[in-house]
Copies of this chain bind each other. A is one copy, B any other.
Amino acid sequence: MNSDPIPFPREYAIPEDFHQNIRTRFLNFFRYTVGDKARNSLIMLMGAVKMNKHDEDQQYRVEQESNFHYLFGVDFLNCYGIIDVDNGKSIVFVPQYDSNYKMWNVVLNNDEIKQKFKLDEVLYNDDIESWLSNRKPSLIYYFYGIDDYSHHSLPIPDQPFLQNYNSDYDELYYILTESRVRKTPQEQDIMRFICKISSEAHELVIKNIRKGNKEYQMEALYQYHTFINHGCRFTPYECICASGTNGSVLHYEENSKTIQEKELILNDMGGKFYGYCSDITVTFPSDGKFTQKQAIIYNAVLDTQRQVHNSLKVGVNWGDMQLLAERTITKHLFNAGLIKGSMEDLIKNSICRLFFTHGLGHMLGLRTHDVGGYNKGTPPRLPELSQLQFRRDLDVGMVFTNEPGIYFIDFILQGAYKDPNKMKYLNKERIEEFMHVGGVRLEDDILLTANGPEILNDVPRTIKQVEACWRGEDWRKIND
């Protein structure tokens, strides 16, 4: 293998005015929202900091924090960024390194940094205090808020001299987050690119992996394709390469099992380019031919994904899409003889959630689980829909995943068998026959436009397409 020269890389050229455009758009929104209070104020962010590996003299390869990247594009660590709200100027403060550090690492001078990242000013971290005392802002806005998913917050600058200035910890989080929810046309183009090359990598894996291979070999091939051809060093999340019943562990990341014959393989892998993420899941049979039971579950998930897709448009509420998905899955599970009872009872008792245990999809952007799901001013999380990642009305420029799934999770079903209120809806014997299926998830990345949904990925979806792809045939010619 690999006895041919490496092809030249095909990178995507980020427009020079990319971050300037983002800052301008964000600042207009910020000034409009905050009003007079924002006059003579500054916005101050702290970038990602270095993280040591244990007690070693090595650091993790830390990616820039996504808000800092969004506004400034600077990929160095231990920096601060300021936006002057009045004039929109961007000032980034960077660490100053000694000559020993320069011997070991690439260090640009401040002019080079200013030039490279199209900033208005670049100074050293030690200059922040004097810069502020010259600038005399009436108020400094900091980014502080609890993330929907992790319930964590980012650190905020805490230098003692900052206490000399009025501070606001409320406004920025909501406004910056909301700005990120709707992607600019330039952001959309990057996301099209990363989804396209991630799809190519998925296709390559489907074509080349066989029983006897290890799951992690799919991860290796996938990452290799996007890295060597397009420079994608980072992945948005750990690759999930699950064969057989491993598919029933939603975020299975071990990828350590040997692939057997007649197994379904669930590959949930994404790429990352210039910080922007794809998040694509395919499911295919290890030997290229779905069994009857695998096909029943696969088609149920595919139909659900399509029903949702066909309902997507501006103004539709995502909570309603979750309910549509649940209804569709319930119907399919019933038709397959896996669950029993009246449709009304099955829905009322959320029986399908024993099999479809996660939310229908999440927003996507500079993070896999992108920000803004339950931002201030949007419909809050409901206890009865706690697994759903957002309940907003869909809007133009939003990018999100459409990822229904059906899983046979042993410990969940064992628990349900013991609960009479659930057991009465379950055909245990029939379910047991399907346990080997593991899980099926199909995940599309959707950009909502004024004309409707655009699927950014390009992977085989129907059973005929998937089987043709496995055989190395041109699956795009197959329409059914």
Q: Smallest distance from the beta carbon of A344 to chain B beta carbons, Å?
A: 27
Contact of B99 with A6 in the complex, beta carbons under 8 Å: no
Contact of B56 with A249 in the complex, beta carbons under 8 Å: no
> A357 interface residue, CB < 8 Å from B?
yes
**A231 and B216 alpha carbons, distance in the complex (Å):** 7
> A18 interface residue, CB < 8 Å from B?
no
> A267 interface residue, CB < 8 Å from B?
no
**A223 and B219 alpha carbons, distance in the complex (Å):** 12
Q: Smallest distance from the beta carbon of A410 to chain B beta carbons, Å?
A: 10
- Per-position contact with B for A228-246: 1 when CB-CB < 8 Å, else 0? 1001010001100000001
Contact of A228 with B220 in the complex, beta carbons under 8 Å: yes
Contact of A252 with B58 in the complex, beta carbons under 8 Å: no
Contact of A2 with B411 in the complex, beta carbons under 8 Å: no
Interface segment, A60-68, A78-86, A317-325, A423-431?
A60-68
> A472 interface residue, CB < 8 Å from B?
yes
> A164 interface residue, CB < 8 Å from B?
no
8 Å CB contact of A2 from B219, B225, B357: B225
> A158 interface residue, CB < 8 Å from B?
no
- Per-position contact with B for A196-215: 1 when CB-CB < 8 Å, else 0? 00000000100111101110
A56-B367 CB under 8 A given contacts A3-B472, A6-B221, A105-B249: yes
List B contacts of A48 (CB < 8 A): 54
> A51 interface residue, CB < 8 Å from B?
yes
**A4 and B250 alpha carbons, distance in the complex (Å):** 30
8 Å CB contact of A208 from B6, B60, B233: B6
**A1 and B409 alpha carbons, distance in the complex (Å):** 38
Contact of A104 with B250 in the complex, beta carbons under 8 Å: yes
A58-B250 CB under 8 A given contacts A221-B6, A228-B224: no
Contact of A56 with B103 in the complex, beta carbons under 8 Å: no
Interface size of A in residues (CB-CB distance below 8 Å)? 73
- Per-position contact with B for A1-28: 1 when CB-CB < 8 Å, else 0? 1111111110000000000000000000
> A316 interface residue, CB < 8 Å from B?
no
8 Å CB contact of A104 from B57, B66, B150, B249: B249
Contact of B54 with A212 in the complex, beta carbons under 8 Å: no
Contact of B61 with A238 in the complex, beta carbons under 8 Å: yes
Q: Smallest distance from the beta carbon of A405 to chain B beta carbons, Å?
A: 12
List B contacts of A418 (CB < 8 A): none
Interface residues of A in 342-376 (CB under 8 A from B): 357, 367-369
> A306 interface residue, CB < 8 Å from B?
no
8 Å CB contact of A150 from B56, B60, B63, B233: B56
Contact of A3 with B102 in the complex, beta carbons under 8 Å: no
List B contacts of A209 (CB < 8 A): 5-6
Contact of A207 with B57 in the complex, beta carbons under 8 Å: no
Contact of A217 with B6 in the complex, beta carbons under 8 Å: yes
List B contacts of A293 (CB < 8 A): none
- Per-position contact with B for A391-417: 1 when CB-CB < 8 Å, else 0? 000000000000000000101100100
List B contacts of A63 (CB < 8 A): 53
Q: Smallest distance from the beta carbon of A224 to chain B beta carbons, Å?
A: 4
List B contacts of A8 (CB < 8 A): 212-214
Q: Smallest distance from the beta carbon of A451 to chain B beta carbons, Å?
A: 32
> A254 interface residue, CB < 8 Å from B?
yes
> A147 interface residue, CB < 8 Å from B?
yes
> A106 interface residue, CB < 8 Å from B?
yes
List B contacts of A165 (CB < 8 A): none
Q: What 7 A-B pairs are tightest by C-beta distance, nearest first?
A: A57-B149, A220-B228, A224-B224, A57-B150, A220-B227, A55-B147, A55-B152
Interface residues of A (CB under 8 A from B): 1-9, 48, 51-58, 60-61, 63, 65-66, 99, 102-106, 147, 149-150, 152-154, 204, 207-210, 212-214, 216-217, 219-221, 223-225, 227-228, 231, 233, 237-238, 246, 249-254, 357, 367-369, 409, 411-412, 415, 472
Please name 14 further chain A to chain B contacts, defined as beta carbons within 8 Å, in addition to the given A1-B7, A5-B209, sorted by A numbering.
A6-B209, A6-B221, A9-B216, A55-B147, A55-B154, A56-B150, A56-B367, A56-B369, A58-B238, A61-B238, A99-B411, A102-B411, A104-B249, A105-B253
